[in-house]
Amino acid sequence: MPNDVTAVIQRRARELLSSGQVVMLLGYRPGRSSAQPAFITRPEDASLLVFDQSCGPNLAAFLPKVKHLGRIGVVAKGCDSRSIVLLLQEHQLRREDVFILGVGCNGVLQDSRLSDSCQTCQFPNPVIYDELIGEPAAASGQLKAAGGQQSADSGQRWQWFKNEVSRCIRCYACRQVCPSCYCPICFVDTTMPSWVGRTTRLSDNMLFHIIRALHMAGRCVECGACSRACPMAIDLMSLNRKVSQIVKERFGHIAGLRAEEKPPLTVFDPDDRQEFII
């Protein structure tokens, strides 16, 4: 029997599609191992939709790819909704492009355990929505230190970083599942010039991951999709958390909370601290 949230999502999807308010409902359907993104266009297919703790993928990543079809209905957990805010802030999406079915989230599972990013989630409820489905969820009280690189010793932090990224096979799953990574051509895919070597040797891997992390500064909503997607179990979230923490300290900014704000690294403010400029 579908749980309450699933039942409401199915009903609302059917209504929104039937009335023509949306052309597609982006939600989740059960897969053989974990839930899969579902792209529902016919009201009669709404019964395929589910919502439970296996619904990990951040659906906001698909919005720029399907928005040309018309208005899209989308099921959004807290982190997904923050990604939508980020896409609005960066003009990748207009508010009228989406109808947001917000859901409170109790965390998603990875290998039957609560995903790392969900253990420290401070925003389990949607920050933007057209409708809220079900009960709001409680934020995690746990604040997790940013992994091995939190060590005071820079040598240890560097060792941690090298150790993690040495496993990278450059499949770019972290980039592809990330809603913040929407560039039509990524810096690693340019050949003239070739900014990053294509090998998996440590120097190439480090460069890719350093640039990826910096491009996430003030833009990562900490949904954890990258960490869950990584086939080599690289602790990308620790790196992201560290960058988020620095942005919060320096600029007082938390990514993807208010559509009218701008990520601090995309704008110039004469009052920014500039003590590093000699």
Contact set with another protein (CB under 8 A): 31-39, 57, 61-62, 65-66, 163-164, 167, 169-173, 175-177, 185, 189, 191, 197-201, 225, 228-229, 231-233
Q: Name the residue nearer to another protein (CB basis): 106 or 166.
A: 166
Tell the smallest beta-carbon distance from residue 168 to another protein (Å).
10
Which one, of 59, 82, 119, lies nearest residue 219 by Cα? 82
CA atoms within 13 A on the CB side of 220: 29
Q: Name the residue nearer to another protein (CB basis): 207 or 259.
A: 207
In the complex with another protein, which residue's Cβ is closer, 62 or 129? 62
Closer CB to another protein, 21 or 176, in the complex: 176
Cβ 278 to another protein, closest distance in Å? 30
Of 145 and 169, CB closest to another protein: 169
| The token pair that represents 101 in the structure block | 């079915």
Which two three-digit tokens encode residue 98?
Answer: 């989406």
Alpha-carbon span 209 to 154, nearest angstrom: 17
Question: What's the closest the beta carbon of residue 200 comes to another protein, in angstroms?
Answer: 5
Tokens at 215, concatenated: 């491009």
Residues 6+ apart with CB under 8 A from 228: 56, 108, 110, 115, 117, 177
* C-alpha separations of 230 from 94, 167, 183, 203, 278 in Å: 30, 10, 20, 19, 40
**Which residue, among 260, 2, 5, 259, has the nearest Cα to 132 in the 3D structure?**
5
Q: How far is the CB of 18 from another protein (least distance, A)?
A: 20
Choose between 107 and 264: whose C-beta lies nearer to another protein.
Answer: 107
Cβ atoms of 179 and 219 closer than 8 Å: no
Tell me whether residue 228 or residue 241 sits nearer to another protein (CB atom).
228
The residues near 103 (Cβ < 8 Å, ≥ 6 apart) are 5, 9, 51, 75, 76, 77, 126, 132, 133, 134
Residue 13 C-beta: closest distance to another protein, Å: 16
